[in-house]
Amino acid sequence: MRRMRPTVLLFDIDGTLIDNAGSGRRSMDLAFQELHQRPDACESFSLSGMTDQAIVRKALEIIGVPATPEAISAVISTYLRHLAQEVLRVEDARYRLHVGMREAVDAALARPGFAVGLGTGNVREGARIKLERVGIHDRFSFGGFGCDHENRVELIRHGARSGAAQLGVPLEDCRVVVIGDTPKDVDAAKGIGASCIGVGTGHFTPAQLLDAGATHAFADFTHREALATLLGEA
């Protein structure tokens, strides 16, 4: 049996691990309503795959407000306050962990030489709020977050370095896998030379993710090859 390289897994959250039933978008709209009386600030663009800071920056620019660090921070703080309330308002049947994901994460955690983290555009506190709602936040001891860097490639790089540090090996010795549901996840993985497993549980099909350059793509993690691919057995 071939020896597995130390492996860092970075899971995206929205559309990949969970369906948040629009609670994140509603919270962002509420934040812009409260601070700028513009609940429509994000209407003209897709938030899919964007970091929280990039979303806020673009929305501020659209409504003609200077996107200063202070203005961005104010929106994100207000957003997080609303998010903590909005995720609790969604019924369990709609706010859910995608099928196969809990099992995939737990299987990876049980493997020696695996570091299991997050690679998400959410700021760290937003990630906690969203994942605690489905009881899975405690599985992830590190990650790359939207508060680490506004650019998705760089936050993924940050997460990969954190995972390698947890394993006690140089990053260049690691197999790094990004698991995501958008072409932006694919691009971020490619940006650091990582592989990417795409899942069609968001707004993009497996075929579209493969076209974007994903190494592998599945409809979801109930596919018979998905877990084996994640664990490096396929």
8 Å CB contact between 158 and 149 = yes
Block residue for tokens 């896998």 = 177
Count the alpha carbons within 13 Å of 114 in the hemisphere toward its beta carbon.
19
Give Cα 49 distance to the centre of its chain.
8
Listed in sequence order, the residues at least 6 apart from 110 whose beta carbon sits closer than 8 Å to its beta carbon are none
Listed in sequence order, the residues at least 6 apart from 76 whose beta carbon sits closer than 8 Å to its beta carbon are 31, 52, 53, 56, 123
Radius of gyration of the chain (CA): 17
8 Å CB contact between 17 and 11 = yes
Give the chain's largest Cα–Cα span. 61
Where, residue-wise, is CATH 3.40.50.1000 in the chain?
Answer: 7-20+94-230
Rounded to the nearest 10 degrees, what angle do helices 124-132 and 69-89 cross at?
0
Output the pLDDT for position 213: 97
Q: For residue 219, give both structure tokens.
A: 């409809």
Dist. CA 213–CA 103, nearest whole Å: 26
Dist. CA 44–CA 191, nearest whole Å: 27
Instruction: Tell me which architecture the domain covering 7-20+94-230 has in CATH.
Output: 3-Layer(aba) Sandwich (3.40)
Dist. CA 152–CA 187, nearest whole Å: 9
Q: How many CB atoms lie within 10 A of CB 62?
A: 17
**23-89: CATH number:** 1.10.150
Kindly give the confidence (pLDDT) of every residue in the chain, 234 residues in length, as a single tens digit, with 9 standing for 90 and above.
Answer: 457 799 999 999 999 999 999 999 999 999 999 999 999 999 999 998 899 999 999 999 999 999 999 999 999 999 999 999 999 999 999 999 999 999 999 999 999 999 999 999 999 999 999 999 999 999 999 999 999 999 999 999 999 999 999 999 999 999 999 999 999 999 999 999 999 999 999 999 999 999 999 999 999 999 989 999 999 987
Dist. CA 92–CA 229, nearest whole Å: 30
Give Cα 135 distance to the centre of its chain.
16
Dist. CA 214–CA 205, nearest whole Å: 11
What pTM did the predictor assign?
0.96
Query: Facing residues of 18 across strands?
Result: 14, 97
Where, residue-wise, is CATH 1.10.150 in the chain?
Answer: 23-89
